[in-house]
Structure 1
Amino acid sequence: MAAANLVGTPNPALTQAPVVPGLTAPNTLGQLIRGSIQQTIDITKQSENMSMGAIAGQTDMRDLVMAVANAELTLQTVVTVRDKVINAYNEIIKMPL
């Protein structure tokens, strides 16, 4: 029996990426960056809204702490990615033509 006969045709369910409703993959690096920046802005706004709710006594402190920690982690990630991009740019500039 040939090895090709043992393998058979690939199962489409196993070869295609899973589909998540409402989620589309970015087509370009620009779209990926734009989406990431928008997500960072949304997380920061959510944290600010939670802070305002806590001041007004409408938000649970536990939820506020989680929102602020999430915003802080997001900001640290953005700064780290920015630093990596700048370092990569500087390395490319140093390369001889």
Structure 2
Amino acid sequence: MSLGALDAASAYGRALGVGTGLKTGGAAAAGGASAGEEGGFGAMVDNLVSNAADSLRTAEAASAAQVAGKGDLIDVVTAIGAAETALDTVIAVRDKVVNAYTDIMRMQI
């Protein structure tokens, strides 16, 4: 999955609940953590991982209900799609953080 800068800023803004997050430009407008924000980036990542785990649990429960004959196939497909999207987002954020860390470590002082 390829995640561009605009997609990342949009996903970050949605996770924070501020729309696209690109109102005035710059890191602060994209949801950058400031001294007055509650939790900042760490809280956003924690929320993202928790939501992904909840989506995976919901998909697992829907699949189990379908196997038991009590669930609807449309609900299973929808839950699995939501879980896949959440997991892809978590993986993309992780990859971007690892790439940023690698770039910082390669910088010469």
Per the TM superposition, whether the score is higher than 0.5 is yes
Conserved? CA contact 1:51–1:64, under 8 Å: yes
Conserved? CA contact 2:66–2:76, under 8 Å: yes
- What residue ranges of structure 2 are gaps of 5+ in the alignment? 1-17, 19-36
1:31 aligns with 2:43: yes
CA distance in 2, matches of 1:37, 1:75: 8
Alignment partner, residue 7 of structure 1: none
Alignment of 1:1-97 (within 5 A): 26-97=38-109
Q: Which structure has the larger Rg over C-alpha atoms? A: 1
Give 4+ residue runs of structure 1 displaced > 4 Å after superposition: none
| Structure 1 position 26, deviation (Å) | 4.5
- What residue ranges of structure 1 are gaps of 5+ in the alignment? 1-16, 18-24
CA distance in 1, matches of 2:61, 2:41: 30
**Counterpart code for 1:36:** L
CA distance in 2, matches of 1:30, 1:78: 13
Conserved? CA contact 2:51–2:86, under 8 Å: no
| Structure 1 position 30, deviation (Å) | 1.4
Instruction: Give the direction of change, closer, same or farther, for the CA distance of 1:61–1:26 in structure 2 (3 Å limit).
Output: farther
Instruction: Give the direction of change, closer, same or farther, for the CA distance of 1:51–1:80 in structure 2 (3 Å limit).
Output: same
1:24-69: CA deviation from partner (whole Å, max 9, x where unpaired): x853221111111111110100000000000111110011001011
TM-score (norm 2): 0.63
Pairs aligned (count): 74
Instruction: Give the direction of change, closer, same or farther, for the CA distance of 1:51–1:26 in structure 2 (3 Å limit).
Output: farther
Percent of residue pairs bearing the same amino acid type: 34
Q: Counterpart of 2:55 in 1: which secondary structure?
A: helix
